[in-house]
């Protein structure tokens, strides 16, 4: 089919929930993707941080084909090897104790929230099920994870939302204490039955707010928050759906912050392009979700898990160190262009935000770049780059050359 035919069919038969760029992607190789007509694009987006190995990685492809030929799916009523091995590797590389596998980021965060509430219910009974999340965060599109998302624009249309979420400003411990006070006052006022949130049981954070604009939390704040959570027996829940699986130059961003969360979710990059997600729990939280309390049909699917194993094999410690170097190199290249529309860069590893100067629109800059052969993302009011972790220096240079040519 031609690009135009594919666009028409999409518009006729797929719900109009996405503001798409007028580009059809047909295939890819390395960090390059191509339209059906052969138009080439350098990919600084990785399908929103998913295709960490780029396109056409032979190891990944072989693992998928082999597993699909053996067993495509069987359900969690039975044991399978790929999920078991992937779970073991993730725990060994993080110091966490066990894993629940799911399918998408929002679904993983739902499970994290359920775990936190059940931890508290088991230990303290009802009336302590509220969670503090941060303003400007993003945690997903389900009814509950929309409510966990600390941006008012998302709390619309779909009432009634889930009870028991309170919001704090990022990098401000006092704001956490204020949210706790507010939860306490509401709990006193409404009573502490199971229908209301009640007191706080957990704090949910992204270490680098991704959709919010690639905004890293301050190290000192994160350490203080971790200490406060430990003191109050609030679970520290870290949403690493975007920052996880090597994106920031370590397997998880929490490893670069020197903290150990109680529960950490992952998704986007875990299987290098197949739909998979999950969350890791520490020793304290490993037996909270018991038979009958949580499940998902596709969770730990053997093909996705085999892809995840291939990703883990490639993401060695040396590879992750290279992610740090490549991120630094890309940021230096962009900053040295001194483009009038762009300000400073920020982020960690290959999760990069670029400030867009006043008077310029990030959406129209992104459109211009995409039109001219460079796929980029926006976040907050800036640009966001999430290139494949396996991108080469040559591919980085080719992408930067397009920025230089287009954004003069
Ligand atoms: C993308 C994202 C989600 C949502 O993941 P889906 O797979 O789209 O449900 C949740 N949290 C963060 C931090 C994300 O970046």
Q: Whose CA is nearest to atom 8 of ligand 1?
A: 105
Buried b (16+ CB within 10 A) or exposed e, 228-261: bbeeebbbbbbbbbbbbbbbbbbbbbbbbbebbb
What is the distance in A from the centroid of ligand 1 to the CA of 105? 4
Say if strands 130-134 and 40-43 run parallel, antiparallel, or are unpaired. Answer: unpaired
| Pairwise CA distance, residues 289 & 152, whole Å | 31
| Pairwise CA distance, residues 86 & 82, whole Å | 6
Burial of residue 132 (CB within 10 Å: 0-12, 13-18, 19+) is buried
347 lines ligand 1 (CB under 6 A): no
246 lines ligand 1 (CB under 6 A): no
Q: Which phi and psi angles does 102 have, rounded to 5°? A: -135, -155
Q: Which phi and psi angles does 385 have, rounded to 5°? A: -115, 130
SS3 107: helix
Using CA atoms of 48, 49, 52, 57 in order, give the dihedral in degrees to the nearest 10.
Answer: -10
> Relative to the CA of 106, which ligand 1 atom is closest?
9
| Pairwise CA distance, residues 76 & 88, whole Å | 17
The CA–CA distances, whole Å, from 11 to 4, 15, 36, 215, 360 equal: 11, 8, 18, 34, 30
- Per-residue pLDDT for the chain (408 aa), expressed as one digit of tens each? 999 999 999 999 999 999 999 999 999 999 999 999 999 999 999 999 999 999 999 999 999 999 999 999 999 999 999 999 999 999 999 999 999 999 999 999 999 999 999 999 999 999 999 999 999 999 999 999 999 999 999 999 999 999 999 999 999 999 999 999 999 999 888 877 766 788 999 999 999 999 999 999 999 999 999 999 999 999 999 999 999 999 999 999 999 999 999 999 999 999 999 999 999 999 999 999 999 999 999 999 999 999 999 999 999 999 999 999 999 999 999 999 999 999 999 999 999 999 999 999 999 999 999 999 999 999 999 999 999 999 999 999 999 999 999 998
Task: Please list, in sequence order, all residues whose beta carbon lies within 8 angstroms of the beta carbon of residue 35, skipping any fewer than 6 positions away.
Answer: 3, 23, 24, 25, 26, 41
Task: Please list, in sequence order, all residues whose beta carbon lies within 8 angstroms of the beta carbon of residue 245, skipping any fewer than 6 positions away.
Answer: 52, 251, 252, 266, 268, 269, 270, 311, 315
For 236, the token pair is 């520290």
Q: How many C-beta atoms surround the C-beta of residue 9 within 10 A?
A: 11
Q: Whose CA is nearest to atom 6 of ligand 1?
A: 105
Radius of gyration of the chain (CA): 21
210 lines ligand 1 (CB under 6 A): yes
| Pairwise CA distance, residues 33 & 42, whole Å | 7
What is the distance in A from the centroid of ligand 1 to the CA of 242? 7
């Amino acid at each position: 089919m031609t690009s135009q035919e594919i666009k028409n069919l999409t518009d006729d038969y797929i719900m109009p929930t996405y503001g798409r760029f007028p580009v059809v992607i047909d295939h890819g190789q390395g960090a390059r993707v191509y339209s059906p007509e052969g138009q080439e694009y350098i990919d600084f987006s990785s399908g929103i941080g998913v295709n960490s190995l780029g396109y056409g990685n032979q190891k990944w492809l072989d693992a998928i084909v082999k597993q699909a030929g053996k067993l495509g799916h069987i359900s969690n009523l039975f044991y399978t090897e790929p999920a078991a091995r992937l779970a073991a590797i993730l725990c060994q590389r993080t110091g966490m104790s066990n894993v629940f596998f799911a399918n998408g980021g929002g679904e993983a965060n739902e499970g994290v929230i359920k775990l936190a509430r059940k931890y508290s219910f088991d230990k303290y009974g009802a009336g302590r099920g509220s969670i503090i999340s941060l303003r400007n965060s993003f945690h997903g599109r389900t009814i509950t994870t929309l409510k966990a998302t600390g941006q008012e624009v998302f709390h619309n249309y779909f009432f009634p939302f889930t009870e028991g979420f309170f919001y704090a400003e990022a990098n401000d411990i006092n704001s956490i204490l204020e949210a706790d006070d507010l939860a306490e006052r509401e709990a006193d006022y409404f009573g502490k039955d199971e229908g209301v949130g009640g007191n706080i049981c957990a704090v949910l954070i992204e270490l680098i707010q991704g959709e919010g604009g690639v905004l890293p939390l301050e190290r000192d704040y994160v350490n203080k928050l971790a200490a406060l959570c430990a003191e109050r027996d609030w679970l520290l829940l870290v949403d690493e759906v975007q920052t996880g699986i090597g994106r920031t130059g370590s397997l998880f961003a929490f490893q670069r912050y020197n903290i150990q969360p109680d529960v950490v979710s992952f998704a986007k990059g875990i299987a290098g392009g197949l739909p998979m997600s999950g969350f890791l729990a520490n020793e304290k939280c490993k037996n909270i979700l018991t038979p009958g309390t949580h499940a998902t049909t596709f969770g730990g699917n053997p093909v996705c898990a085999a892809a995840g194993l291939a990703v883990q094999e490639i993401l060695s410690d040396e590879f992750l160190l290279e992610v740090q170097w490549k991120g630094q190199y890309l940021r230096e290249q962009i900053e040295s262009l001194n483009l009038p529309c762009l300000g400073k860069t920020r982020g960690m590893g290959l999760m990069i935000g670029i400030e867009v100067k006043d008077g310029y629109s990030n959406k129209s800059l992104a459109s211009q770049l995409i039109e001219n052969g460079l796929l980029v993302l926006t976040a907050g009011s800036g640009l966001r780059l999430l290139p494949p972790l396996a991108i080469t220096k040559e591919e980085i240079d080719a992408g930067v050359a397009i920025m230089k040519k287009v954004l003069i």
